[in-house]
Amino acid sequence: MADDTYTPPEVWTWDAESGGQFASTNRPIAGPTHDKELPTGKHPFQLYSLATPNGVKVTVMFEELLAAGHDAEYDAWLIDIGEGDQFGSGFVDINPNSKIPALLDRSRETPVRVFESGSILMHLAEKYGAFLPASGPSRTETLNWLFWQMGSAPYLGGGFGHFYQYAPEKYEYPINRFAMEAKRQLDVLDRALAERDFIAGESYSIADMAIWPWYGQLALGRTYGDAGTFLDVESYEHLQRWAKAIDARPAVQRGRMVNRSVGEPETQLHERHDAADFDTQTQDKIGEGS
């Protein structure tokens, strides 16, 4: 229905067909739809996720911790959000918001659930004393940018990305509104990165890990079809330099593969239980490419 003919009814009712590409998963209620226990592996950390930008933040963090010599071994299990795995009872117990990523930290006597990607990054950073200064202005600046990402990305993904790429029709009003906001956010980052190597200062931090999967990958032209051209991402010089530098990190390249279920089979590691899995368990090796 075109924008100019729609009058909202007095009380909204759910039309299951109105969710565009995600109509099959989105509902106006929370809670589980079915009973399903989550699998558990041998490591202290059990990650239930998918290689979307929010998922990649956490797998990059684990791979960076391991690369830095921390004992941060983890089992990563694939949650297929297209199939509704996020509404299984075991997953909802760990994240009542039914969104990936969700983590169960079994390194304590009583396991701790951790949901919201920013909370997971902080939890791991504090546990290992890594990628987040322990105190002082540099810690505050890192958290400034971490929370900036958590607050800003829904306008990029749920706003711009949804209307530019996924909505059933192209509507000029929301595309204009969210393209302007997306470009404003890109300029925020570009100006900050003109003055420093990384987003929160001269050290790589959980703020970079949170921001790069969204804005770095947009700058590299990897998200939302032709959005890179549409938003003229090449014009953000400092953002480009940072995006490419982070993309080249081996831990980032590994983190992008974990729980990935689209793309070239050699880039997909559906589950990760061991460092050797990158060499032996990718979809091209186990022959179940999707």
Ligand X SMILES: N[C@@H](CCC(=O)N[C@@H](CS)C(=O)NCC(=O)O)C(=O)O
Closest approach of Cβ 119 to ligand X, in Å? Answer: 8
Map the footprint of ligand X across residues 203-222, applying CB under 6 A.
none
Strand ranges, E, within 38-161: 45-49, 74-78, 102-105, 112-115
Using rule CB under 6 A, residue 98 touches ligand X: yes
Q: Which is nearer to ligand X, 223 or 282 (CB)?
A: 223
Choosing from 47, 60, 78, 81, the residue that interacts with ligand X (CB under 6 A) is 81
Q: Which of 237, 187, 246 is nearest to 216 (CA)?
A: 246
Using rule CB under 6 A, residue 165 touches ligand X: no
Looking at residue 258, what DSSP letter applies? B
Map the footprint of ligand X across residues 9-28, applying CB under 6 A.
25
141 membership: H or E segment, kind and range: helix 136-154
Q: Which is nearer to ligand X, 47 or 100 (CB)?
A: 100
Using rule CB under 6 A, residue 117 touches ligand X: yes
Other CB atoms closer than 10 Å to residue 160's CB: what's the count?
A: 26
- 113 bridge partner residues: 104
Cα distance between residue 161 and residue 175, in whole Å: 9
Return left, alpha or beta for 280; rule: phi > 0 is left, psi -120 to 50 is alpha, else beta.
alpha
Q: Which is nearer to ligand X, 92 or 175 (CB)?
A: 92
Q: Which is nearer to ligand X, 31 or 137 (CB)?
A: 31
Tell me the site size for ligand X, rule CB under 6 A: 11
Using rule CB under 6 A, residue 80 touches ligand X: no
Using rule CB under 6 A, residue 261 touches ligand X: no
Using rule CB under 6 A, residue 116 touches ligand X: yes
Strand ranges, E, within 97-220: 102-105, 112-115
Q: Which of 37, 50, 38, 36 is nearest to 272 (CA)?
A: 50
Q: Which of 50, 75, 79, 53 is nearest to 62 (CA)?
A: 75
Scanning 68-76, 92-100, 121-129, 258-266 for contacts with ligand X by CB under 6 A, the matching segment is 92-100
Using rule CB under 6 A, residue 99 touches ligand X: yes
Choosing from 46, 86, 205, 259, the residue that interacts with ligand X (CB under 6 A) is 86
Interacting residues with ligand X (CB under 6 A): 25, 52, 54, 81, 86, 98-101, 116-117
